Amino acid sequence: MKKLHVITPVKNSVKTTLRTIESVCTSRMATELRYTVYDDFSDEETIEALLEAKERFNFELVHLSSLTQHPSPNYLLVLQLAQQKALADDAHLVIVESDVVIQPDTLQTMQERAHLLPNTAMLGAVTTDETENFNYPYLYAKNYAFGSIKSPKRISFCCTLLSNDLLSKFDFQLLNKGKTWFDVFISHKALELGMSNYVLTDTPVLHYPHSSRPWKNLKKTNPLLYYWQKLVLRRDKI
């Protein structure tokens, strides 16, 4: 089986980020994984917490401020950097976002499924709330069977494996810089390439929706400010 490179892009949200990091770093793996946290111009409190977590768990910490002057969000740059590293190491790439807490066997399961399932492009671990009910963005999968289910729908980046084969066939340098929902485009592109995407309904992960993008919570508390950011600042471009 191929190695795993795991990444977590971070922009503040200290509480959930530290949960994410601990869950990744305490995973049970038969093979070594390489874990990189990308700090996207976080505040001082978050940076200090990341440095302390790095000392505790020994992961790679990349401050994007040392690589670019482009303001946050820099998700595209993270994807491009991670793709290059994974290809150079002949590895699959797993994205675990900073509002997700994985199970001890999540990464091992994803690694095994990528090896066993035919023509794999993307594997998305289904997301749940604390009561183990499917939540956003995998509400559409609540009626799926139990297991590895081939799906034509979007595979969210919440907790997703991008196979080395997919990374080899599609260059992330070609992604549209004017968009932000890269998981939607890559999901569709994988199908265009004749590959298969799967939702792992038997491999749930805990998801706190929008903790890594707190402005989205304004939809309920301050709709005017939410739509100003969405429509005027164009922060949600698919």
Task: Please report how the helices 14-25 and 44-57 are oriented relative to each other, as an axis angle in degrees rounded to 10.
Answer: 10
Residue 185: give the domain boundaries.
3-210
Instruction: Please check whether residue 202 lies inside any domain of the structure.
Output: yes
Averaged pLDDT, 15-42 = 97
Which residue's structure tokens are 């890269």?
182
What is the pLDDT, as a whole number, of residue 209? 86
Residue 222: pLDDT band with limits 50, 70, 90: low
Quick check: is 216 in a domain?
no
Confidence (pLDDT) at 229: 54
Domain count, the chain: 1
- Residue 233: inside a domain: no
Residue 141 lies in a domain: yes
On average, the pLDDT of the chain sits at 91
Give the CATH number, domain containing residue 81.
3.90.550.10
**pTM over the 0.85 mark:** yes
Does residue 108 belong to any structural domain of this protein? yes
pLDDT band at 231 (very low <50, low <70, confident <90, very high): low
Q: Report which of residues 228 and 110 the model is more confident about.
A: 110
Predicted confidence band of residue 179 (pLDDT cuts 50, 70, 90): confident
Average pLDDT of 203-210? 92
Mean pLDDT of 143-163: 97
pLDDT tens column, 62-74 = 999 999 999 999 9
Residue 227 has pLDDT above 90, yes or no: no
89-142: per-residue pLDDT in tens?
A: 999 999 999 999 999 999 999 999 999 999 999 999 999 999 999 999 999 999
More confident of the two residues 212 and 143: 143
pLDDT at 195 over 90: yes
Q: Establish if 154 belongs to a structural domain.
A: yes
Rg of the chain (C-alpha set): 17
Segment 10-30 shows an average pLDDT of 96
Residue 203 maps to a domain: yes
Does residue 226 fall inside a structural domain? no
Average pLDDT over residues 193-218: 82
